[in-house]
Amino acid sequence: MIELHDVSKIFYNEETGHLVQALQGVDLTVGENEFVCLLGPSGCGKSTLLNLVAGFERPTAGRLLFEGRPVRAAGPDRGVVFQDPTLFPWLTVAQNVDFGLRNLGLGAAERRRITDRFVSLVGLADFARSRPHQLSGGMKQRVQLARVLALNPRALLMDEPFGALDAQTRDRLQDQLLDIWESHRTTVLFVTHNVEEAVYLADRVAVLAPAPDGIIADVPISIPRPRDRYSEEIREATMALIGVLADLPCCVLPSRRAGETPSREPATTKPG
């Protein structure tokens, strides 16, 4: 489904004039309908990897395939949920969900039906006519989810989507995401630096270390679903993964992040 073969990405940092190696020799495969969490310390290139799969950036070297074809540009077959709620502030919730449907050239009635369905699916039917600035952080993330699900993507690419939310909201949205994933069955590549989150959500956790290391561990999480986030199994799997992460450099200089998404705050102020 998603295949990365020996993928590298080098950025040129315009401010410092240095080249920054964000990814080096990364191999990763995500299977059909698999839920894979990409785990790693801040600044290790997780977001870069996701941006490559999304088609926002091109790999410097290596092969990157989506459904057997090289990724050339972004498109609605890969629905991206960003960490920052990138909703269009001038559109209502329903119009935000409708945005992508218009590009598909569907009729108005069809679009209306799909929009209603997905706005309701994420529990925002009462807010269909609200604008993003009237919503809480969690609600905005639900709109982001609705607008990509409405496009019936082959894969969901999620970049720390719950990273900026409070713990209670995060838990609720994780459960909601799992419900939707179970009923809609798509492939999910989910970037996080939160170990518990990765273990609770994923079929498989891939641990990404800063370049030049690449994927240093690929751990299947075989705990049956539905999972109990407070269970002993989850706790054990979490502890095991924390052991893996403990060997990694945790504090990476901000300059390493130069190539990552522009309007992101520096690694040191990240929540979690």
Q: How far is the CB of 79 from other proteins (least distance, A)?
A: 7
CA–centroid distance for 215 within its chain: 17
- Rank residues 156 and 237 by Cβ distance to other proteins and give the closer one: 156
Nearest distance from residue 43's CB to other proteins, in Å?
A: 18
Question: How far is residue 197's CA from residue 38's CA, in Å, rounded to a whole number?
Answer: 11
Query: What is the DSSP pairing of strand 78-81 with strand 155-159?
Result: parallel
* Phi/psi of residue 250, nearest 5 degrees: -90, -30
* Cβ nearer to other proteins, comparing 30 with 87: 87
Using the minimum distance from each CB to other proteins, give the nearer residue, 140 or 204. Answer: 140
Nearer to other proteins, 103 or 268 (CB): 103
d(CA 9, CA 32): 25
The three-state secondary structure class of 250 is coil
Task: Assess contact for 39 and 215: CB atoms under 8 A.
Answer: no
Rounded Cα distance between 216 and 213, Å, is 7
* Nearer residue to other proteins within complex by CB, 18 or 102: 102
Question: With respect to other proteins, which residue has the nearer C-beta, 101 or 209?
Answer: 101
CB of 169 to other proteins, least distance (A): 4
Q: Which is nearer to other proteins, 83 or 238 (CB)?
A: 83
CB of 49 to other proteins, least distance (A): 15
Rounded to a whole number of angstroms, the minimum distance from the CB of residue 247 to other proteins is: 31
- Residue 268 CB, shortest distance to other proteins, in Å, is 14
Distance CA 83, CA 197 (A): 15
- Residue 203 C-beta: closest distance to other proteins, Å: 24
CB distance 128 to 92 below 8 Å: yes
| 187-192: strand order across its sheet | 78-81, 155-159, 187-192, 35-39, 204-209, 214-220
Question: Closest Cα partner for 219 from 198, 197, 235, 246?
Answer: 198
Report the alpha-carbon distance of residue 1 to residue 31 in Å, rounded. 5
Binding stretches for other proteins (CB under 8 A): 54-56, 73-76, 78-80, 82, 84-86, 88-90, 99-100, 102-104, 123-124, 126-127, 130-134, 136-140, 147-148, 151, 164-166, 168-169, 172-173, 261-263, 265, 271
